[in-house]
Amino acid sequence: MEERTAAYAASLQGSDAERYLIEDRGLNPRALEYFRLGFVANPFPGDSGYAGRICIPYLTESGVTSLRFRAVGDGQGPKYLSLPGEVPRIYGPEALSYDYPYIAVCEGEIDTITARMAGVSAVGLPGANTWQPFMARAFKGYATVYVLADDDKAGWDLGERLARQVANVSIIAMDGGDVNSFVREHGAEALRQKIGLET
């Protein structure tokens, strides 16, 4: 998986996917590099179904544990595709080792990257319906677990699901959209203020 991640990351530069992530989603080049986002320009064997998609690696201290693939833009079939047989997992788990009294949980990888760019210690789930009960133990010991919920029924349902299984949950709806759209419209500082983090 490491070889695929490296190859797809190398293909991102100058691609439509890079332009989409920077211009349309507001991610900066440093974040693209840090999170090793890529573009499936020349698919590896077995990856032809992901051609032309953004590659989002799931990184841990021991290496790449999984890959997800996102359409460039919207309206091109399924927005996200996962590897066959993939079990949902937490995105950006290194944030769980940071020395903060809180952790934020986002719905989606791009929202997680956006929150991290805004100075918020955050992890993500691959989607609103991917929460698994075993994940709850990752959030033990936090003074507050902020669920940065998409402003829709699925987002609220996710927040309520976490609140039933995790202590100290605070659900914060992203008015009119998600973390990424909120930050693009209002700025990083507005996100921190909405959460109630000191500036």
* pLDDT tens per residue across span 43-96: 999 999 999 999 999 999 999 999 999 999 886 689 999 999 999 999 999 999
Q: For position 199, what pLDDT does the model report? A: 57
With respect to residue 45, please indicate whether it lies within any of the assigned structural domains: yes
Kindly state whether residues 29 and 55 are assigned to the same domain.
yes
Residue with tokens 């009119």: 176
Q: Which CATH number fits the domain that encloses residue 55?
A: 3.90.980.10
Kindly state whether residues 101 and 174 are assigned to the same domain.
yes
Kindly state whether residues 107 and 20 are assigned to the same domain.
no
Domain edge (last residue) among 82, 106, 122: 82
With respect to residue 87, please indicate whether it lies within any of the assigned structural domains: no
Percent of the chain exceeding pLDDT 90 equals 94
What is the 3-class SS of 58-120, one letter each residue? Answer: EEECCEEEEEEEECCCCCCCCCEEECCCCCCCCECHHHHHCCCCEEEEEECHHHHHHHHHCCC
Low-confidence ranges of the chain (pLDDT < 50): none
State how beta strands 144-150 and 122-125 pair.
Answer: unpaired
Question: What is the pTM for the complete model shown?
Answer: 0.96
Domain edge (last residue) among 59, 82, 105: 82
Measured in whole angstroms, the distance separating CA 178 from the mean position of its chain's CA atoms is 11
Kindly state whether residues 17 and 68 are assigned to the same domain.
yes
With respect to residue 24, please indicate whether it lies within any of the assigned structural domains: yes
Q: Which domain holds residue 144?
A: 93-195
Q: For position 77, what pLDDT does the model report? A: 81
Please give the tally of structural domains in the chain: 2
Kindly state whether residues 98 and 127 are assigned to the same domain.
yes
Domain edge (last residue) among 60, 82, 104: 82
With respect to residue 7, please indicate whether it lies within any of the assigned structural domains: yes
Kindly state whether residues 178 and 141 are assigned to the same domain.
yes
Q: For position 152, what pLDDT does the model report? A: 93
Kindly state whether residues 77 and 97 are assigned to the same domain.
no
How does DSSP classify residue 44? Answer: P
How does DSSP classify residue 129? Answer: T
With respect to residue 88, please indicate whether it lies within any of the assigned structural domains: no
Q: For position 176, what pLDDT does the model report? A: 83
Kindly state whether residues 150 and 56 are assigned to the same domain.
no
Kindly state whether residues 106 and 177 are assigned to the same domain.
yes
Count the neighbouring beta carbons within 10 Å of the beta carbon of residue 25: 17
Kindly state whether residues 101 and 190 are assigned to the same domain.
yes
Q: Which CATH number fits the domain that encloses residue 163?
A: 3.40.1360.10
